[in-house]
Every structure is written in structure tokens, then in C-alpha cells.
Structure 1
């Protein structure tokens, strides 16, 4: 049974403080099935990796990013092994100026500092100082730019056949023309449909799928060499360059940032 991250009334109701936050560190994986709540939720990872399913997409939350989920938006959450993370829950009436759609954002030092302070509050009405800190969190979210950490799924059965095959073997380096012939459609149709249904070109989608899988494998402690081979990179250096461009750090440093957890460290 998953221990609640925060008191249910601070998630399921807009009563009480307009912003509530919590941090969590634990050894075991954490998973919640698809659900929604009246409050908007901003969630981030301090170390490890969390996957979020939302709007027929799979999003990941590496340690320098966060995911914004507007009020009443269906989503599921799963961590990959030990992790440390945080969530902020914002009352629906204060979400009007916030992004109306789910998005991944890159966290700023100011946002993280404000969230860390808010996580120590007791869940009662906010005083003047706490209100100013809570407003900083809302301002940082409102000003954030969307980052690409999601992987949209195409609806066309022929495209889905291709993406399913790639998901099973991301090292498959067949060109678009070869995939089109395999799926029974023209290269032009594949290219046009892929962009229309996912917002990405075929090459961009495959690169994104490889990145998201790389983040999962790194969080699970798989060696960099094994990951590079599994994802079809010609050499380890090419994989490390891609990872650093996407996350701002190398796989080794990402792994080194994991906390040393003890059995009694799980806490709300």
C-alpha cells in the first residue's frame, strides 16, 4: 500500500491553505494508478526518476525537472527504484493564471528553495510570510517554459505498430523508408501522419523514446556501456553527449546524486 505523500484533505479539497507541499525519500519504488484531484500538482525529483502517465503520453521527471498537472487531469505516477522527490498542491481557484495543459518544466534554484520551505509547513492557513513564498512558487510556474520530456502515442494503427516495435527494440536503426515499407504505407504518408499525430518527426520521436528509456536505465543503475548498446548508439561518447544535452549532467553524475537511503527514511 502506498503511503500518502500528504494529508488527503490538502489534495482533495480547495479548503485550507491555497498551497501545500511535501517532500519524500524512500528506498522502495512508489506507484499510484490513474487518478485526478481538484488541486493542481507540480511534482519534481531530487534524485532517481519518476514516470508520469498523462494525456496518452508518458512523461519522465529527472532530477532537474518537474511536471505540472492541472486540476482534474487524469494521471498515474511510478518511480524507478529508490528516489527522493517533492510535490506542490495548488487550490483550483489559484490555477487560473497557471498553464492550462500538463507540461514539463526545468526547475530553478528559486523554485526549489521555495518548495523546500513550503514542505515544512503544517497545513494550516498561511501567514503573510508563507503567502509570499507560496506566491513565488506560483510565479515561477507561470513564467516557466515547456520542456520536451513526454512521448506522445500515435492513434493510427500503422504508426502504432511502428512505435510498438521500436519500444521493444530501441536499437533498431532502420530508416523511415524501411519502416514505411514494413508497415505498409508510403514514406511521405508516414512522415506526414507522424508529425500530425505526435507533433514530432519520426526521427525526433525515436530520439525522445531513447532518451526516456536512457533515463529509466540510468536510474536503475545499468552501466553506461550497456545502455548505449541497448539504445543503438555507435559509441558510449555519443550516448553521454546526448544525455548531457538533455539533462544538463552526465549519466555518472546523475547516478552519483542518488541519496544513500536507510530503511527508516520513508517519510511523508
Structure 2
């Protein structure tokens, strides 16, 4: 959430912005140190955000996304966004003109990277391609964009709010995802009523309390899957009494099991090294 980023950030980074791209597809690369906040900004082109390893946290219009290395975050033209990384990352942005961006989703989302897409991106990165101007690179970029727009995106958003009743609840749910207290219990903790909180969740976050909590668990799970701990232990840390319930939830939202997600991420890391 926004307050957390401000507290944990040591460094600030603002990309150099221009009014237009030199080519229809343009790539740039940065090494970003741990605990760096990329300050809020927007531009007239769309952008694919990629990292080689670790996890990238991004906020788009006050909605939080957590992206591991085998996914890309898409932000449409003119959509304000900012990012935060807890560890050192090698970051790549593939910038796409507004005209070509029309084929992509109209809202920010996460898109899983297939082996083919990963191979194309790796080739561009290894050659440090910036301006996509040669016929070979144009063909690669067209294949990349054509395949990306055909993949079902994953909308793993954690909307945030400064609402005085909801903000402390959201912070606590992120810090202790194993807490399965009901909304009525939370209402007593913040000296409110269950009905009032339910209305606030729908008004401020456009989703129910249970939906937001499940998304928070999913975001935390994606981070924990980077660590060398068992699926059952992750389920326990997230408040599930059985690993099967956690696996069912994860597969419902991502289309893969936690173990498949972990293997995909390990494969991506091996390919990058």
C-alpha cells in the first residue's frame, strides 16, 4: 500500500521522460537497487514492465500489483504508475506507441510469459536492443505483441484507500494474512459495525471484504513461493488448515497450481542466468 512504500523506501528513482518514442517499439534497461521507489509518472505510450528475478511491486491508480519474474505488468498509455522493489532487480521496459497499444487491454494487468515470449524478450535483452528498427527486430516485436494480446491477463490487484476505518484493516491483513477474523470481529476492533464496513469496502475498493482478503493472500503466496518452503507451510502461513484449500484458491485465480507457478518461475530464473 502507499504508506508502506513510503516507509520502506531508501532511494527515489524517476525515469527520464520524453514526449515521443524514437521507434514504435523501444526498450530500455535499468539496474535498480533494493528498496528503491520509482516515483509516480505517466507517458503517452504503453509499457510492458519486466524483471529478470525477484518481485516487482507496482501501484497503478492506487491499485497494487505484485509481479514475479515470469510475468509482465502492462500499463496503458497515460496511466499513472509507480513501482517499488525490495531487492536488487534488473528491470526492462518495452515501450509501445499508443497506436500499437490499442490491441492491448485498456487497463493495467499482469500477463504470464510463455517460453516463446520469454525467449523473444531474452533475445532482445541479451543484445541490449533499444530502438526496434531492423526488419528482424520488428518481426520479433510483432510476434511478441501478437502473442501477448491473445493471452488471458491476470488482474491481481489490491486496491488501497486512506479511509480511516479501512486503512488499518488492510494494513493488518497484509501483515498477518493468516488472520481469518470475520468482518464483525474487525468492526469491533475499529469501533464500527459490520454493515458500515461492508458498505465502505464496496464504495472505496469496489469489492467485498472477503474478496480483498483473498487477493491479499494470493499476493503474499506469490512472494512466499520464491522461498524454499513447502506448499503446506505456505498454506499454513496464509491461514489455511489444509494445503488443498490453498491450492484450489491459487489455481482459481492464476490457472496453475502453486507448484507449477514455482517451477515456471524457477525455469525463468535458470534461463536468465
Q: Same fold (TM over 0.5)?
A: yes
- The structure 1 residue matched to 2:83, chosen from 73, 77, 80, is 77
Who is 2:4 aligned against?
Answer: none
Who is 1:36 aligned against?
Answer: 41
CA contact (8 A) 1:14 1:92 kept: no
In 2, Cα distance between equivalents of 1:210 and 1:160: 17
The Cα of 1:208 is off from its aligned counterpart by 0.7
The Cα of 1:193 is off from its aligned counterpart by 2.7
1:168-207 correspondence to structure 2 within 5 Å: 168-207=175-214
Who is 1:250 aligned against?
Answer: 258
CA deviation string 1:117-155 (max 9, x = no partner): 443364346133432332333334444544221100134
Who is 2:240 aligned against?
Answer: 233
Q: 2:174 is paired with a residue of what secondary structure?
A: helix
In 2, Cα distance between equivalents of 1:159 and 1:97: 36
Q: Describe the shift of the 1:213–1:157 C-alpha distance in structure 2 as closer, same or farther (beyond 3 A).
A: same
In 1, Cα distance between equivalents of 2:102 and 2:29: 25
Q: Describe the shift of the 1:116–1:261 C-alpha distance in structure 2 as closer, same or farther (beyond 3 A).
A: closer
Q: 2:165 is paired with a residue of what secondary structure?
A: helix
Q: 2:269 is paired with a residue of what secondary structure?
A: coil
CA contact (8 A) 2:58 2:84 kept: yes
In 2, Cα distance between equivalents of 1:47 and 1:237: 28
Who is 1:162 aligned against?
Answer: 169
Name the Cα RMSD after superposition: 3.7
- More relative contact order in 1 or in 2 (CA 8 Å, sep 6+)? 1
Q: Describe the shift of the 1:258–1:125 C-alpha distance in structure 2 as closer, same or farther (beyond 3 A).
A: closer
Q: Describe the shift of the 1:125–1:33 C-alpha distance in structure 2 as closer, same or farther (beyond 3 A).
A: closer
CA deviation string 1:101-129 (max 9, x = no partner): 32222334554344344433643461334
CA contact (8 A) 1:40 1:92 kept: yes
TM-score (norm 2): 0.73
Larger CA deviation: 115-124 vs 161-170: 115-124
2:108 is the alignment partner of 1:102: yes
CA contact (8 A) 2:69 2:269 kept: no
CA contact (8 A) 1:42 1:68 kept: yes
CA contact (8 A) 1:243 1:250 kept: yes
- The structure 1 residue matched to 2:67, chosen from 52, 61, 65, is 61
Q: Describe the shift of the 1:50–1:15 C-alpha distance in structure 2 as closer, same or farther (beyond 3 A).
A: closer
The Cα of 1:234 is off from its aligned counterpart by 0.9
Who is 1:128 aligned against?
Answer: 135
Q: Describe the shift of the 1:193–1:203 C-alpha distance in structure 2 as closer, same or farther (beyond 3 A).
A: same
Equivalent pairs counted in the alignment come to 257
CA deviation string 1:188-233 (max 9, x = no partner): 3322331232222211110110111122233244554543333211
